[in-house]
Structure 1
Amino acid sequence: MGRQRVLFLAASLAVALAAGATNHSLWVHGRGGGGQVGNYADFSSWGPATVNAGVNKKSVNWDGYSRISTQDFRLRNALDCFCTGANWCYVAVHSAGDLMIGYVLDLYGGSQRFKKIPLPGADGQCTNSDGTTQTGWNIKWVDVAGGAAGGSELANNGSWAASDPLVSDLKTATARALYNHNNTRGVMFHMYAGAKGTFYSGLLPGQDDDAVAYHSSGGVSGSGGASFCNPSDWFCDDLTLGTALNQGGRAKWANHSVRLRDDAEAYGHSTGRNWGGIVAPMRADMELNAR
């Protein structure tokens, strides 16, 4: 009788978990951080938490200071919590958050993950649901605003604080060699590339959002950065929309597609902690399509 009761309770839990299956929108910030680590409700690095930023939004906070290899477990915890079992995720990343999600998918996206109950503790971790595992995570797609997976020349030339360990990862040669950028585990990356620039834009090749150039925010492949621009600029090759080869023949990384090229040069890199800059059109997409 006791065994039958245990089986009944286990079956009831499985039904409850299935009934509670839902989609989540994960937001992964870049360098600098700002939100409380492990607190998925703290959107202080982005802007007011009341803003619509996709279904069941969660802020994946990490320190924004340390090297990717020492902080990537924060994202893995979130993916385990909200993107396993019957639950699926949309992921939005900004700046070095692009480097983070790419790193995690390449190195761990083929690993066995325990399915979790999406009720995190204070440490940002969730408990196992039924003891079974799955390969990788359930991710519908990734939106990328001002992506720094290709690194930034501002890290190369010391424009950012040398004491910041993350800057070492953000050097263009290092970022491009950190993991296999083509290995997204089949997940599509939608790139939002800003071009507002600033007075020191001469340090960055081609168009830029004042922190990263088009070669990075546009997901352009290769071992180093190169100059890519809007069609109105005659002095460097065009960054093309979608997955097409860029002018001059340079390809984008596999499963990387430029959704927004800032032809009007209207979007900068910073959110202003108010969902601003190049994050603004990405947030609008999450509101409309992450359901």
Structure 2
Amino acid sequence: MALRLSTLVRPLIIGVTLVAAVAYATNFSLWVNGRNGSGQSGNHADFTYWGPASANAGVNKKSVNWDGYNRISDQSYRLRDALDCYCTGSNWCYVAAHSAGNLMMGYTLSMYGGTPRVKRNAQANSAGQCGAVDGSTQTGWNIKWVNVAGGAGGGSELANSGDWAISEPLVSDLKTSTARAMYNHNDTRGVWFNMYAGASGTLYSFLLPGQDDEAIAYHSSGGISGSGGASYCNPSDWLCNDLTLGTAKAEGGRAKWSFHTVKFRDDREAYNHYTNGSWGGIVSLVRQDMEANAK
């Protein structure tokens, strides 16, 4: 009888162990802010930059909260801490980035995405850091994809012109020539960047080439490669080359960076750059996609 009980119980124990292992695997949605980050650094529950924290913005949403003021290289540790926390071990992440958050995410993946990362337990302290699971490591992070709203990976002419406060260290990084030379934009570690490009620009349109969202031109928000920005527009505008959807080269032959695809082009010129404290502008479309697909 003892042998029979052992034979019956052992599969149950194994089954419970497997269920526990599966339950431990969790998906998270990380939100990477841009310039003038207003959330509390290290507090992954503070969504002040974005809008009401009650909004559905993907499964187990976390706000990375780097300061949006200092240089990308100086603040990258904030993003690395969050990626280590929630995107290692058996856990996986969806990532959403806005504006300079695109530059931050691209830089961090290119520069650190091939390095050993200690597997963390997804329980962040007040500094935004998590404890080790068992001391083991992995290479890079578990990231499903990155959604980018008004991405500044290619910089902005507003930084070139000094329209933004030149005393901010981040503005130096946002100059188009600097942003495009900062890291290898083609090296995303195989992670897809889904680009959402807004086009309701009015106030600064004379400084920004082609279509823009008042802060970022299509050459950047559309992930167009090259050492400098150029004019790209919607198909209805005959004055400059079209920003194509998907991964296709832009009209005129300029390629997009590897693993970059234009998921949304603002043909109706309806979306600007700003969240307005309510998940607004081009960010609203990324939030909707995260709600629908980051599960």
TM range (shorter): over 0.9
Identify the residue that residue 41 of structure 1 maps to in structure 2. 45
Q: Secondary structure, in 3 states, of the residue corresponding to 1:168?
A: helix
Task: Give the greater-gyration-radius structure (CA).
Answer: 2
AA matched with 1:188: W
Q: Secondary structure, in 3 states, of the residue corresponding to 2:122?
A: coil
Confirm whether residue 97 of structure 1 aligns to residue 97 of structure 2. no
Confirm whether residue 161 of structure 1 aligns to residue 165 of structure 2. yes
Shift of 1:204: 0.2
Confirm whether residue 129 of structure 1 aligns to residue 96 of structure 2. no
Identify the residue that residue 170 of structure 1 maps to in structure 2. 174
Cα pair distance change 1:15/1:71, threshold 3 Å = farther
- Count residues with an aligned counterpart: 280
Q: TM-score, normalised by structure 2?
A: 0.93
Identify the residue that residue 13 of structure 2 maps to in structure 1. none
The C-alpha deviation readout for 1:7-62, integer Å capped at 9, x for no partner, is: xxxxx999856532100000000000000000000000000000000000000001
The C-alpha deviation readout for 1:203-236, integer Å capped at 9, x for no partner, is: 0000000000000000000000000000000010
Identify the residue that residue 229 of structure 1 maps to in structure 2. 233
Structure 1 residue runs without a partner (length 5+): 1-11
Distance, in Å, in 2 between the alignment partners of 1:245 and 1:188 is 16
Confirm whether residue 202 of structure 1 aligns to residue 206 of structure 2. yes
> Any conservation in 1 of the 2:150–2:282 contact (CA below 8 Å)?
yes
Q: Secondary structure, in 3 states, of the residue corresponding to 1:127?
A: strand
AA matched with 2:161: N
Distance, in Å, in 1 between the alignment partners of 2:251 and 2:38 is 38
The C-alpha deviation readout for 1:144-197, integer Å capped at 9, x for no partner, is: 000000000000000000111000000000000000000000000000000000
Cα pair distance change 1:68/1:173, threshold 3 Å = same
Counterpart among 264, 270, 273 of residue 277 in structure 2:
273
Counterpart among 159, 184, 187 of residue 188 in structure 2:
184
Using the aligned pairs only, state the percent identity: 70
Confirm whether residue 244 of structure 1 aligns to residue 251 of structure 2. no
Distance, in Å, in 1 between the alignment partners of 2:26 and 2:212 is 37
Cα pair distance change 1:14/1:81, threshold 3 Å = farther
Identify the residue that residue 155 of structure 2 maps to in structure 1. 151
Shift of 1:199: 2.7
Identify the residue that residue 3 of structure 2 maps to in structure 1. none
Structure 2 residue runs without a partner (length 5+): 1-15
Identify the residue that residue 3 of structure 1 maps to in structure 2. none
Distance, in Å, in 2 between the alignment partners of 1:131 and 1:263 is 50
Shift of 1:200: 2.2
Identify the residue that residue 9 of structure 1 maps to in structure 2. none
AA matched with 2:265: R
Q: Secondary structure, in 3 states, of the residue corresponding to 1:117?
A: strand
Q: Secondary structure, in 3 states, of the residue corresponding to 1:75?
A: helix
Shift of 1:90: 0.1
Q: Secondary structure, in 3 states, of the residue corresponding to 2:171?
A: helix
Q: Secondary structure, in 3 states, of the residue corresponding to 1:159?
A: coil
Distance, in Å, in 1 between the alignment partners of 2:126 and 2:162 is 36
Confirm whether residue 53 of structure 1 aligns to residue 51 of structure 2. no
Distance, in Å, in 2 between the alignment partners of 1:27 and 1:239 is 26
The equivalences for 1:104-143 within 5 A come to 104-143=108-147
Please give the root-mean-square deviation of Cα atoms over the aligned residues, in Å.
1.4
